[in-house]
Chains A and B, each alone.
Chain A
Amino acid sequence: MLRFIIKRLLLVIPTLLGITIVVQLFIVITPGDPARLLAGNQVSEEEVEELREEMGLNDPFLVRYGNYMKNLLSGNFGTSYRTKSSVLTEMLNRFPYTLLLVCISMLLAVVIGIPLGIYAATHQYSWKDNAAIFGSLFCVSMPSFWFALMLIQALCVKLKILPVAGVDNWKGWILPCFTNALAYAASIARQMRSNLLEVIRQDFISTARAKGQTENKVLYKHALQNAVIPIIMTIGSIFGFALGGSLITEVIFGIPGLGSYTITALMARDYPVIQTSVLFLSTVFCIMLLLTDVAFAIVDPRIRAQYVRRAKKPEKKEPERSVA
């Protein structure tokens, strides 16, 4: 087990290295001049050129990448072009907001999604199942930014029961977390339903029923345990969607997290901030994927066995990334 975790942990390093290259490439090959944006329109071309030189924008790709990596490894994540403040401090100040938003959303999604999926599967072919499935499809198909605005309009402006923006107290967190969670809850419910329906048709369930086990035990002990395992994988990939979704949610609800910081930086072509925040958010995502892989191995005895007894060379299956 430990061996698996270490091996999986080592795989994260080349991935993060790859991300730094990809992001640097994006920035180098795309048009746009941050020096001009920074200097404004009044400044002469010579001064802008000087600024460009100073910012290292004229250097070739490898030099820029080398400098970036050298700074990165010595713990220097650069300073924002716009605010001249250290990117890392800013990120660490803002990160708790994003982490809280994403974690509560994921928790909500799981707490709503799994029971709903079980309920739909156990009532297959009834109107309850149809309602649950259609309802969740509805939630998946809804633009979350629009739904957030509609809820703000209804609950905050008309009924005045929740604050419009800001997260000064717990009430402010309700809407952002709920709107961010809804689509993921729906996709977890859909997957849970189809998993359970598939497991129920398998032989070991017939065996359990044949030996006279009560239906509740068959369902919640035998079937559920097997149906829930693939959900762990889904949660990992949905975490990525939720991190991306936090960009918009934070902008709408005025949460001072990483998402709104990134969006502002993107609009202003604040490259050090963009680079660091993409790297930062991807690192968080990588860690989450690592955790789900480990959880998967712990929960599923078939996978665990591959790593505990290493008689046969384990054939690691390519984890499927589901589309929410």
Chain B
Amino acid sequence: MNETVSWRKKSRFAETWRQLKKNKVAVICLFVIIAVVLIAIFAPVIAPYSYEKQDYSSVYAPPSAEHLLGTDGLGRDILSRLIYGAGQSLQLGVISTAIASVIGIIIGSIAGYYGGWKDNLIMRFFDIYQSIPMFLLCVTLAAVMGPSLNNATLAIGIGMIPGPARMMRASILSIREMDYVESAKAINAHSSHIIRKYIVPNAIAPLIVYVTMSIGMNVLAGGALSFIGLGAQPPVPEWGAMVSDARNIMRDHGTLALYPGICIMIVVLAFNLLGDGLRDALDPRLKN
């Protein structure tokens, strides 16, 4: 009975999940990420205080039962600000990656499918684009658009377009030459069928890994933008901006800068490790 079931072709998602489950670190990271997303969504419910509630009677309070991580210079609860900050930092990472990936994949596909002068034009443009150091590009874009969280997100998204675009183009170019595409053509398969059944599934695997890791990178870049004052504007808490706020009072209250940095690190580490795990899980050579 079981044997007949096992002949059924497993879906790609189930197969990947089965592989990923073997990697304990990756599973833990996945749970960390889910937890952070949930915290970000339900921040108003979870957080003990509002992020802007000021309490001048307890400024720079040490950790206590009332304020688990203490308070900052305006008497605001650090823990609540960290909880609200999760949403801002995730937005910087996830939305910017989404912008970069969608635009990048479309441009990369056009370059890869059509080739010729279109490919040449796009690639020469990216050569120019990428000769500007990436972070400099993001900072410049964010600064000329004006400092705000949405502009910073957009700036990082635009700055990161070449990565997924080049990747998509490269995989399409190599997949086009594969024997299985040729054999599909030989049996007169429709080109939309070839794209759906052969090119997209094979091109998507490296992209999933890339996107996962680039969310982490973008959280870092977003934190850095907020740190220099180009991201989230006060009083909205964002982890990078919180480090920046704590910078001037570090001599006396060093721990204030500690927590948001650790939060950024945990999230970025989780995305990087999950990306590593996904790469192994999606690698057909490691299938057994």
Residues of A bordering B, CB below 8 Å: 14-16, 18-19, 22-23, 26-27, 30-32, 137-138, 140-147, 149-150, 152-153, 157, 240-241, 243-245, 247-248, 251, 262-263, 266-267, 269, 274, 278, 281-282, 285-286, 289, 318, 320-321, 323-324
Contacts and interface: CB of A to CB of B under 8 A. Distances in A.
Nearest to A145: B227
A262 B144 CA distance: 12
A323 B210 contact: yes
A111 B139 CA distance: 29
Q: Give the interface size bracket for B toward A.
A: 35 or more
Name which of A289, A318, A324 has the most chain B CB atoms within 10 A of its CB: A318
Contacts of B124: 14
Interface stretch (B10-18, B41-49, B128-136, B176-184): B128-136
A145 B140 contact: no
Interface in B149-178: 162-163, 166, 170
Contacts of B125: 18
A247 B136 contact: yes
Interface string B229-258: 100000000001001000100110010011
Contacts of A324: 217
B278 interface: no
Interface stretch (B52-60, B79-87, B190-198, B265-273): B265-273
B257 A149 contact: yes
A144 B140 CA distance: 19
B228 to A, nearest CB: 6
Given A31-B146, A143-B265, 4 more contacts: A150-B257, A263-B139, A274-B143, A282-B133
5 contacts: A143-B240, A149-B243, A153-B257, A266-B140, A269-B144
A67 to B, nearest CB: 19
Given A30-B144, A143-B261, A19 B254 contact: no
B170 A274 contact: no
B166 A321 contact: yes
A226 B230 CA distance: 43
A244 B213 contact: no
A171 B278 CA distance: 43
A274 B141 CA distance: 11
B243 A145 contact: yes
A263 B228 contact: yes
Given A241-B134, A323-B163, A137 B227 contact: no
A137 B136 contact: no
Contacts of B258: 150
Contacts of A281: 132-133, 136
Contacts of B250: 149, 152-153, 157
Given A143-B261, A153-B257, A321-B162, A240 B134 contact: yes
Contacts of A32: 144, 146
B128 A22 contact: yes
Contact of A282 (B123, B132, B228): B132
Contacts of A145: 223-224, 227, 240, 243
B144 A27 contact: yes
A101 B129 CA distance: 24
Contacts of A138: 265, 269
A247 B261 contact: no
Given A19-B128, A143-B265, A266 B143 contact: yes
B216 to A, nearest CB: 7
A262 B216 CA distance: 26
Contacts of B145: 30-31
A319 to B, nearest CB: 10
Contacts of B143: 266-267, 269, 274
B178 to A, nearest CB: 18
A145 to B, nearest CB: 5
Nearest to B268: A141
Nearest to B222: A143
A286 B131 contact: yes
B264 A146 contact: yes
Contacts of B264: 143, 146
